[in-house]
Structure 1
């Protein structure tokens, strides 16, 4: 079966690289893109055109300056088709969704960098440390807001790519259209594939008789990947820097550090590729699961669903000195007694259970002054896991040292 052609709208931010983008997108999309300059038409006019996805091109200036970004901002706010932002477009995508723009550590004009990435979405099938061309003096500040997820990084710690947590939107800081970027064509082909998948017809479901989804098929044999860091990092400082802006983050903190007792602390979020956010209501029964692939609705009881998931994610012993190595974190309400046979006269307006399925986490061994990076993933995703380990370790080691405590007034 021939692939469905994808028509791309390129919004040109007056950049010389736009024609390179045009050529590559014509090849991988099967038809020539439509190119419109950022000061040529309004979004009201653009939305009347026929296209399947949008690419916001590189260009000079700043995305937070209307004169430089033109119709791109309205497009990023209003459009409901897949979007790829390149360089300036990447920064604009981040800015529209709450990210802060800052000066890069070093001005990059036509310089090469290797890129580490998650191996998903735009980077599916691409090797680690492939070379990319960078032309930028600005970048997005890390950590990103909760709606955005980091997907690639340069050795200098600058964010090289992101995706939106729930919308079909991606951004790359580098130039995939440059001849010196080694896998740029494949990256753009991946964007076209993602656009094609977004537009693919979905089976209809009648509201009056919703069909219950079966559990997702096994993703392979999961195992616990880990990296041990002899690093005396401060947990509070790390949480603020790495996870403080996340919508769904957790920190299981030990208030007392005693051998054999509360020795370990754990923190993480719901940004991993196998993570999920679960909300459950007892009466009427409703179980909502938000994964990276989309939102699922179930009518099963929570404990039955959890058993299915734990069976799917069963792993062999890892030898780590702590038991929590990925899994469910959250809160269970008193109303769950109903599912155990008890009477529950009170009904809460809030979810009766809210849980995160955490597939990536940081574990602090306060006794040994060690940090463990832990990921729950199939063996074939080892390269993506190592990329996350590298990026997280780099962020931890970049934390500034804590200032010494000031002595209290009157203390000797």
Structure 2
């Protein structure tokens, strides 16, 4: 059997697809609700429907009364009256609307909250399921009046219709989200739907011309151009190691759960450098050397480059064997790289949205030792010279505070954007909007960015700190948040949503009480469900191994979840996951596509730049680790706000706005996040 899943550009669709496949055993094929233009493409739609046994109409943003939000969905219910259809959330509301029911806006929308679902009467959809099960709701619209064509099946504790079926046709619907990680009885309900479909006895064969993600890498080729060499010395202080050379790229794990610090040493006129700008395209060159435009797309180019350079060295040292980086790309990918919009210019030339340097020489440090490593053949001289320098290091000295002029965000403008967020959340256009803003820090040109970074990392050590100076763009990060890590067989994502300040009065127990409330849990849950969706686009097995756990950092306590995926036997590799998971859901909200569009308006068409992007590495052994760029400073060499005597750094901050948010509370959290960085200035 096969089932057609109609996607309304939601960020939970692939969670639903996985659940349907697991619960029913059916093959599931997905189309967007605007894939067919009617009536011109009616014949094509008829052929598609005739090839499947049932339809599931998934959730999505918007209003079922708006044609651009629902596309072909009303037509499915009105024309295909003999085929089983199950509508979820927006799909459920559309079922009721087509059959004459009325809908209204909830006075208090319910987004990412768990409700008790109480069954009413009997239906094959809920066979064997006891009344009163928990399920997660994401909706601002509810069915306020029903007609004789619709039979109510379930209600929530606040009296909202939660499930219904058509009085005659095999059309069903549920308002809640059975696919959420915190929903119960979703698999059982969908299994019942599958049995109902099986009784129709059609056993159709689906037309496989539908949506699929195409892998970027079909096969890795082992490279013979590299040769692994290393020298092991006693553990050296990271900042001092950086200062042995003029050019370095630092990924500094200054705190748990990070284990390794990586310092790449690119070589002028030799190390390959990739730059991509949304406005000027892809250019390829060498570190501190010439580059030229390449008429290719970024993702295929980078993927082919690495696919031809797979290298898994044999390493005898048990400590170094654990190091994830063995040479490869180090760099960043900006927010606008994966969320392109027309933005207000902040530089005099095209913004470098992506910078990646292929690094063959590096120093790696764990808690016990420091390793000098090269994968360049016959590089013994560099290994020996670098080792000698490490053995005669001078301690690095950090400035306590950096003089600067700071321009804080406009609070009134933030209030206006917050209020507009609430309008969109109440209208059903989004469940959560990560509203952000930026401040500007003007620093005298006599103060080097490296001195700023040293002060930053000493004041706010973090597991994903970095210092990346590419000349035209500089990133100084003290991020606590992993975005995505992967190897050949597994991947992991660690979204953070929910923050409280750490001070002398705040204990771990008190932080747990403050963070484990409906607002904070709802924010985190939405992002967990969004990330599961992103991974389920490509992977068959995704598991939440830590759900909404409080973790302690240097300046804050935060609510963290961990989602892991199984790449073993998959057609996809980690680079596919990276491409299709950007921008980070924790920095957009859900549903992602609609939320990104709304945020562009709410943030007044100003670019986020490196803030909300990702930085990290992709190693030749196909291991990678990317963090979300938060708690960070960044600078473009030709920033329009820089002067002849000062350099303008920018610092972004924001938070997830939900219907449970208060403007003052969100503003205070924004200022708290900014101050974790700004405290290094005076």
TM-score by length of 1: 0.46
Give the structure, 1 or 2, with the largest relative contact order (CA under 8 Å, sep 6 or more). Answer: 2
TM-score by length of 2: 0.28
